[in-house]
Amino acid sequence: MQEPNPGLLRGLFPAAMRRPPLPAWRLEVVGQSEVTPRMARVRFTGELDGLTWRPGQDLVLSIPQAGGEAARRHYTIRSFDPATRLIDIDFVLHGESPAVRWARQAKAGEAIEARGPRGRTRIAEDVDRHLFLGDETGIPGIFAMAEALPPGAQARALIEVANPAEQQSLSAQADVHIEWLNRNGERPGPSDLLLDRLAELAPSPENTHAYVIGETSNVRSQRHHLLAHGFDKARITAEGYWRPGRIGGHDHV
């Protein structure tokens, strides 16, 4: 029998089918707390020896549903301490999705399955300046990356939130300036709120890496703006965390 052609097989099967499976972890809830009125933090533990995480990456959580099925959702790791085997994941409490319902009532001792970490959103190590753009869904990743920056690094973050009560404090070694953009009653989703401020700010692309995360259409318009104003494609990490009508998953922009 003739051996199959590896090149032909690569063409027949999509890349996702060729990737090795993500590591699986059993996470047990330690507790749940309020970060802001619209964000809850669930702390997990587990047998996590060997888990390798870069700030900005996420886990694929299998969220239990009422019917006994599981909903797969991507959630960025807010923090991970290998010594104590503790993982914090923050959930934005908007809508009535399976993940929101579960996070609101997560109890100590509950267990769920997670796979990962995964994702290409992580700190660029060959620049001195960093530009973070996002909405509240991007805060866990933005804060995790900003806290990982070394002393001497410079960063600016433009973050869109519902109102001032959703603003959070950051403890970082680097020089990080955060500007909060409040929707003040407007619904989250496609808008020019952050894009307009980005245009006013006119950040220099010199020795700067931009991380653009949040609602997909906003991420796309902000990325296009950066490209039109001197940023190289290689100096932009862009990922749509959500969009109206989409259930689960991320969009690579």
- pLDDT per residue as tens digits for the range 172-199: 999 999 999 999 989 999 999 999 999 9
> Token pair for residue 143?
């804060």
Per-residue CA distances from 253 to 65, 98, 120, 146, 233 (Å):
30, 25, 12, 22, 11
- pLDDT per residue as tens digits for the range 86-117: 999 999 998 788 899 999 999 999 999 999 99
| pTM, rounded to two decimals | 0.90
pLDDT computed for residue 185 by the predictor: 86
Candidates 3.20.20.190, 3.40.50.80, 3.30.70.260, 3.40.630.30; correct CATH number of 129-252? 3.40.50.80
Q: What is the 3-state secondary structure (H, E, C) of the chain?
A: CCCCCHHHHHHHCCHHHHCCCCCEEEEEEEEEEEEECCEEEEEEECCCCCCCCCCCCEEEEEEECCCCCEEEEEEEEEEEECCCCEEEEEEECCCCCHHHHHHHCCCCCCEEEEEEEECCCCCCCCCCEEEEEEEHHHHHHHHHHHHHCCCCCEEEEEEEECCHHHCCCCCCCCEEEEEEEECCCCCCCCCCHHHHHHHHHCCCCCCEEEEEEEEHHHHHHHHHHHHHCCCCHHHEEEEEEECCCCCCCCEEC
pLDDT band at 9 (very low <50, low <70, confident <90, very high): very low
Name the segment(s) of the chain with CATH classification 2.40.30.10.
24-118
Name the segment(s) of the chain with CATH classification 3.40.50.80.
129-252
CATH topology of domain 24-118: Elongation Factor Tu (Ef-tu); domain 3 (2.40.30)
Average pLDDT over residues 52-62: 97
Higher pLDDT residue, 240 or 67? 240
pLDDT computed for residue 1 by the predictor: 37
pLDDT computed for residue 5 by the predictor: 53
